[in-house]
A and B are shown apart, each in its own frame.
Chain A
Amino acid sequence: MEASRRDFINIALGGMGALGALGAIYPILKTLAPSAASTTEAKVEIDIDSVPELNVRVTSWKGKPLFVLKLPPDLSQRYDYKVRKDLKNSAGKLNQELLGDKPVFALIGVCTHLGCIPLWKPEGSDAVKAPYLHCPCHGGLYTPWGDNIGGPPPRPLFVPPQKIEGNKLIVGEPGFVEQLV
């Protein structure tokens, strides 16, 4: 009797102590949790008509720069980008396969080399006689769909989950791109 009563109180104290520690830590951790307002960052809606053709609209998604591009439908036929076909996105494909036929789409505007923000060159340049994306930091070159043409970047630009609903492009929800690739 004596032993089991004493053990009970040991266990009770130990258990209560652990409960207390958890109860104290829980609110402290919760104050660190992302606020409700930051959940609005997870979804961005862009009006398709508001983006002029052959133009990039820069906005932000989950804290990163977002490029929304509207390209003329025959762009891929008009120009021959010397795409680095060996560099694929996370789904093991080229971005163009995913985005080539879409009237409007979004890319994460962060160079996959060291994180600078690429510049949109719709007129092309001496080096690339076509619209392309050029990263000024170390010379990374991308097609308008984000595939690699040249320079140090190891993979195409990231493509966020997105879908087209009516005349809105919704970034952050799965659609023609289901997850980040």
Chain B
Amino acid sequence: MNVWSAVKTVMFTGATLLFFFVIWIYNPFSPHEEYELPEEAEQIINDPKFAAEGRELFKQNCASCHSLRYDGIYLASVAAKPEWSKVEKTQGKPILEEKDGKLVVRGYFVPRDVYEAVAVQDLESLKATFGKVPPDLSTYYLARGPGYLYQFILDPGRVLPGTSMPKLFMPEYDKEATRKVAKIVAYMRSVSEPPPGEKAKRTLMGMVTIGYFLVMGVLIWIYRKRLLSKMGY
């Protein structure tokens, strides 16, 4: 390999790696919005033990307008309907959680069209009040991110001017307000992300898989070298 070859190799390899880095890993040119997350809130959000409390706070404060079907939470007015528990049992799939070593039913996942059919009046009246149906929040932790969610719940009008979502938490009057919002976000995170035990398993799986392929690559290379030298190439 002469100098010119080396130059070409470096140029093409470098350009390719740089291109894919920008496109796939971090693009400094494309528009990014950053939503600030104060440290205390970040600590609460990253701590899975606040998820249970967050779930209760969600049911009290959010479920009057928002469902979260992936964890079996439906519009409060719909869940209160007498036929709802029949609907859940016949049309829904149980969502299980482990409690004291046994699997218990935490709620039911009801398909969207079944839920929207049973809830059609309630959803229409929400639409009349707010202009649009407040969305189901099951995947919103992934769609918006913790910073956005925290800032939005604390002050919807500031983050999304013109939104019809009211301000529900008043830090000026409630000392716990910011912590409550963080706990709700912590709960939403627990619906979208696997629990820390499972996360650790996946990390380990990843490292083992990558390590395996690297070792296999080296082994094949050595095997080939030996085979070729034996064959005289």
Contact = CB atoms under 8 A, between A and B. Distances in A.
B93 interface: yes
B10 interface: no
Given A23-B209, A36-B96, A37-B94, A13 B226 contact: no
A7 to B, nearest CB: 11
Q: Give chain B's interface secondary structure class.
A: helix
A58 interface: no
What is the size category of the interface that chain A forms with chain B?
10 to 19
Contacts of B26: none
A131 to B, nearest CB: 29
A16 B96 contact: no
Interface string A50-94: 000000000000000000000000000000000000000000000
A23 B212 contact: yes
B220 interface: yes
A29 to B, nearest CB: 15
B212 A20 contact: yes
B103 A13 contact: no
B215 A16 contact: yes
Nearest to B105: A40
A47 B105 CA distance: 19
A40 B215 contact: no
Interface of A: 6, 9-10, 12-13, 16-17, 19-20, 23, 36-37, 39-40
